Amino acid sequence: MSNAGSGSGIDLGALRLMQAIRDQGTLTAAAEHLGVSQPAVSQNVQRLERRLGTPLLVRAGRSVRLTEAGEVLARHGESVSAALRAAEAEVVSITGLQSGLVRLAAFPSSTSALVPRALAILRERHPGVSVRLDEVEPPQSLALVRTGEVDVALAFAYEGTDLGRGEDDLSGLSMERLLEDPVLLALPRDHELASRADLSLADAKDEHWIAGCPRCRGHLMSSARASGFTPDITFATDDPSAVLGLVGEGLGVGLLPGMVRSIARGYSGVVLREVAGVSPRSVSAVTSPDLLAVPAVRSFLEAVRDAVAESV
C-alpha cells in the first residue's frame, strides 16, 4: 500500500484504504483484505488524518466506523475502483471480444430460462467472453453492483417497490427495464379452481400457501391484504422449482412469475393461471455507467435483450 503522499494526502491508496476499512469493519480485517499488516493500516490512517486535518475513524471496541469525511473517501474509492476495473476490462476486450469476463448476479427465477438463453446467445456470438453467475435476490444484488463485486445485476421489483426507490437506491447506477413479468397463480392440476374462468386472488383465500423469496412473500401478503384476507403460509422457499414441486404434490398453492412457464411444463401436476388482484413485476438490468462502455458487458446486455424479445 502506498503512503498518503504529498499535497492533499489523497491518492488511490488512501481511497482503497478507507473503502476496505468501511467494508471489512475492523482494521485487522482491512489489513488482511489489503494484504498488509494491521500496524501499517493504523499508521496510514493516522498519517492521512494529520494531512487532511480531520478524523476519519471512530473506534468502538474492536470495530471501527468512518466519520463523514471517511465515508466520502470510501465512496470515491468505489468509483475509482469501478473505473479501474472498467478500464482493464475494456483493454482486455478491445481486440474483437476475444476474451472478457462478465460477473452477473441474477435472481433464481431468471436463471431458469432468461439467463440460460442469454448466455447461449452470447456464446454463439462471442465464444471468448465468459460469464460468472451468482444467484442473488435484490436488494443484495444491487449492493454487489455498487461495491463492484459484480458487473451486472438482473433484479425485479413489484408495483409500489420499484427499483430506484427505498432499499433499491440506484443513485450513480444505470438501469434498463427489460420486461413486465406477469405473476400467476400456481394450482394443482386437479384443484377445483384450476378450470374456473376469471380467477381472482380472493378465490384462493382458504388455501394453504407456499411463499417465495422475502420480496415475493411481501408481494403475496400485500396483494392478499388488498383482496381482504391473510394467507395461511405453510411453506416458504426461494426456489421456484420447489414451489412447483410442492404445488404438484397438492400441498398448497402459490404465486409464481410468468418467467417460470418454461420449467413449469416439466411439472404435469401443476397449472399456472392468470389471476386478478395481483400486479406484475418489472425486471431490469442494473450496472455501473462506466461498465456500459466495456464491450463484454455491452454484448451481454444485448444478448439479454434478445433473449427477452424471444420470450415475449
User: pLDDT 10s digit of each residue in the chain, 312 long?
Assistant: 444 334 456 888 888 888 888 888 888 888 888 888 888 888 999 999 898 889 999 887 777 889 999 899 988 888 888 888 887 776 765 555 666 889 999 999 999 889 999 999 999 998 888 999 999 988 899 989 988 899 999 999 988 776 766 667 788 899 999 999 999 999 999 999 999 989 999 999 999 999 988 889 999 999 999 999 999 999 999 899 999 999 999 999 999 999 998 889 889 999 999 999 999 999 999 999 989 988 889 999 999 999 999 987
At residue 293, the pLDDT reads 83
Confirm if 129 and 97 have CB atoms less than 8 A apart.
Answer: yes
Backbone angles phi, psi at 240, to 5 degrees: -60, -35
In 10 A of CB 222, how many CB atoms? Answer: 16
Residue whose C-alpha is closest to residue 304's, from 154, 193, 167: 154
At residue 229, the pLDDT reads 96
Residue whose C-alpha is closest to residue 179's, from 109, 264, 103: 109
- C-alpha atoms less than 13 angstroms from C-alpha of 202 in its C-beta half-sphere: 6
Cα gap 312→308, rounded to integer Å: 6
At residue 1, the pLDDT reads 46
DSSP 182: P
Cα gap 83→101, rounded to integer Å: 16
All three cell numbers of 296, joined, read: 463484454
Cα gap 220→212, rounded to integer Å: 9
Confirm if 37 and 95 have CB atoms less than 8 A apart.
Answer: no
At residue 113, the pLDDT reads 83
- How far the first Cα of the chain sits from its last, in Å, is 51
